[in-house]
Amino acid sequence: MKIEPLSVDFNDEQKRYLEGLAAGLKVNLAGRAQTATAPLAEPSGPDAIHIKAQDKVLAAGRKLADQEKVKREQHPFDAYPRLKQQAHSNAAPSAADNFRWRYFGLFHVAPAQDSYMCRLRIPNGILKHWQLTGLADLADQLCGSYSHVTTRANLQLREIPPKHAVMLLEGLSDLGLTARGSGADNIRNVTGTPTAGIDPQELLDTRAYAREWHFHILNDRSLYGLPRKFNVAFDGAGRIAALEDTNDIAFSAVEVKDGFGVAPGVWFRLGLGGITGHKDFAKSTGIIVEPERATEVADAIVRLFIETGDRTNRLKARLKYVLDSMGHDKFMEAVESRLGRKLARVADEAIKPRPEADRMAHIGVHPQKQQGLNWIGVVLPLGKLTTDQMRALARIAADLGDGEIRLTVWQNLLLPGVRDENVAMACAAIE
């Protein structure tokens, strides 16, 4: 037996009644849905720690700095499609996007050049010869034909037309390099002792610790968008200073004597609050950190800074000013609370005198700890290298050295691993 569908015709009054009923049900259901999802108004995800810090400022009736408003309006990493659009049309960025693109390492420097500058990230300042050659090729194709070594043992490329910006970022990735987070309110390039692993007097090889912190930053979006820029350095007590006391966090390798309540041996002494240009150096906290826990401690310090740093006044937004307000002891107690444990503290007399740095060890020929090998420090006027010089130095590093190029905070470079019998030839080639 086939059942026919029921056919019902409604008059106009019935139709209006049913339409009103449906509308009422829709409003009621929407209200219930809103109530059910109300807890989702709490910020979540990797950006939550920053949004909560901004919300706290607004709740207190204060105004966010313009840069904080830009970050709040659209996270720079979420705006990447617009960077690609601007590259496609060779368009200069707006003021807001000029700030956002610094999260990708791009700084628009108009009107001086009407182009971008790109600042890289090179942990501990160490490059392979093929990377330096690749950078020279990229510079010739997409930028001005030169680079600069920076005061953070890093490289910068300049004269990048907007149309080449994305191609450059992709080209860096092809070389195993990145510029991510090297500008704006982020943790800058990680510096370390330039002679790490080859220095006769070092207490600690900083390469592994700088590398660990470097990748920790790159892979955690919550560590981008701080109240202001942030610097971290590792000094292994080698002959060439890393100038760690000019950084927000200074890890200085020290040797602790026996009989002071902690394991004797090499630790990092923790300094906080260095700020370049203000003649204010990182102050010792009295705390020493096991080297393998440096990243854990640095992470806790940065996250506390994210919550307590000034989001209203850019001139007072560095870690130094949080420390001035809270005091080092109270700040570190809050860090320990985050870590869930107390950090080791020792008196000054528990620490052996550190080896002295040599102000000239970044220039000329110096013996390494490896017998028969040397590093050669090369002076760069104003830190500048032409692309021809970049390729030539890379060839010297590959043919006569160990294949590495090490950048220093003195804006020059070292060619390590040069055998005794090859020193004269390498020096002649450099000249």
Question: How open is the CA angle 262-266-268, to the nearest 5 degrees?
Answer: 90
Starting at the earlier edge strand, list the strands of the sheet with 364-367. 126-128, 404-407, 413-419, 373-378, 364-367
Could you give the C-alpha distances from 162 to 50, 79, 102, 139, in angstroms and in order? 30, 15, 13, 14
Q: What are the per-10-residue average pLDDT scores of the chain (431 residues)? A: 47 50 44 36 91 97 98 97 98 97 96 91 98 98 98 97 98 98 97 98 98 98 98 98 97 97 98 87 97 98 98 97 97 98 97 96 98 98 97 98 98 98 98 95
pLDDT score, position 157: 98
Matching fold, domains 46-188 and 203-236+242-356: no
* Torsion of the alpha carbons at 178, 179, 180 and 184, rounded to the nearest 10: 170
Longest dimension (CA), the chain: 105
Q: Residue 299's closest CA among 226, 235, 236?
A: 226
- Stated as kind and residue range, the H or E segment containing 337 is helix 328-339
Could you give the C-alpha distances from 208 to 190, 201, 240, 401, in angstroms and in order? 12, 18, 18, 21
CATH architecture of 46-188: Alpha-Beta Complex (3.90)
- How far is 358 from 238, CA to CA, in rounded Å? 9
DSSP reduced 3-state for 156: strand
- How far is 273 from 280, CA to CA, in rounded Å? 8
pLDDT score, position 118: 98
Query: Where are the domains positioned within the chain?
Result: 46-188, 203-236+242-356, 364-430
Give the number of residues written for the chain: 431
Could you give the C-alpha distances from 235 to 204, 229, 242, 357, in angstroms and in order? 8, 20, 6, 11
349: number of Cβ within 10 Å? 8
pLDDT score, position 314: 97
Give the burial class of 132: count Cβ atoms within 10 A of its Cβ; 0-12 exposed, 13-18 middle, 19 or more buried: buried
pLDDT score, position 12: 55
Q: What pTM was computed for the model?
A: 0.89
> For 78-86, which contacts have Cβ atoms below 8 Å and span 24 or more sequence positions?
80/104, 83/165, 83/166, 84/166, 86/162, 86/165
Angle, nearest 10°, between helix axes 294-308 and 48-59?
A: 30
The domain 364-430 is placed in CATH, from the list 3.40.50.300, 3.30.70.3340, 3.40.50.850, 3.40.50.880, at 3.30.70.3340
Query: CATH topology for 203-236+242-356?
Result: Sulfite Reductase Hemoprotein; domain 1 (3.30.413)
Distant-in-sequence, close-in-space partners of 25: CB < 8 Å, separation ≥ 6: none
